[in-house]
Structure 1
Amino acid sequence: MPGTRKLGRTSDHRKAMLRAMVTFLFETGKIETTATRAKEVRAMAEKMVTLGKREDLHAKRQVYGFITKESVAKKVIDEIGPKYADRDGGYTRIIKTGVRRGDAAEMAIIELV
């Protein structure tokens, strides 16, 4: 279930951070972040791709309501959703890259498959 990790943020801050990270992931194709944030972003990104695969108006409105940039939301619906039409899940990949210098947080790269 997405949203089970608190990530040391209030609920509003956490939701805004995840929306921004999911938007940036779809915009660039991959991002580098901490491993726990990557796991949360994966859950939300996979849900957005699943919504992008559907053709109904409600799913499109949900995508536009979650993703912060209209051009990226359009990309999810027009390009990314149909690209994964024959795939039943597993749209993202998390690759652990080591620890961050300074606070030793475990880092990871999350990317679209």
Structure 2
Amino acid sequence: MRHHNANRKFNRGRNQRKALIRSLVRELFVHGKIETTLAKAKESAPYAEDFITKARIDTVASRRDVAKRMANNDIVGKLFSEIAPKYIGRNGGYTRIIKKGPRQTDGALMAIIELV
């Protein structure tokens, strides 16, 4: 049974949630690390790991799959040429989440997610 395996909703609809995760992962690949809430970091880390795992196998099919889901060809090129080759000998664990503490304004727990 798959009880209690739901994803975080972030008080958004399905398309907004997908766009949020996609933009967080995109910014992570551009900058190497980003600061966001802990829940968003925990939710976006598996997506980043999945993209890097697919990019490690540099085939036309994997490029097309990542390009379809990423929707930005510049970042896809960077992912396949710069980011993925660094993790050839590593089986998972490409991201790190560092907890920062509560945000001053609303008390949301903040975190830094970065590529290892």
CA-CA distance at 1:85 after TM superposition: 0.5
- Tell me the residue number matched to 1:53: 56
- Tell me the residue number matched to 2:23: 20
- Tell me the residue number matched to 2:97: 94
SS, match of residue 12 in structure 2: coil
- Tell me the residue number matched to 2:83: 80
Distance 2:28 2:12 in 1: 20
* Contact 1:20–1:68 under 8 Å retained in 2: no
- Counterpart code for 1:87: R
- Percent of residue pairs bearing the same amino acid type: 45
- Counterpart code for 1:62: D
Could you tell which deviates more after superposition, 52-61 or 36-45?
A: 52-61
1:70 to 70, 73, 77: 73
CA-CA distance at 1:18 after TM superposition: 0.8
CA RMSD of aligned residues (A): 1.5
Q: Based on CA coordinates, which of the two structures has the bigger radius of gyration? A: 2
Instruction: With the length of structure 1 as denominator, give the TM-score of the two structures.
Output: 0.93
2:35 to 24, 32, 43: 32
Instruction: With the length of structure 2 as denominator, give the TM-score of the two structures.
Output: 0.91
1:24-62 deviation digits (Å, cap 9, x = unpaired): 100000000000100111010000000100122221111
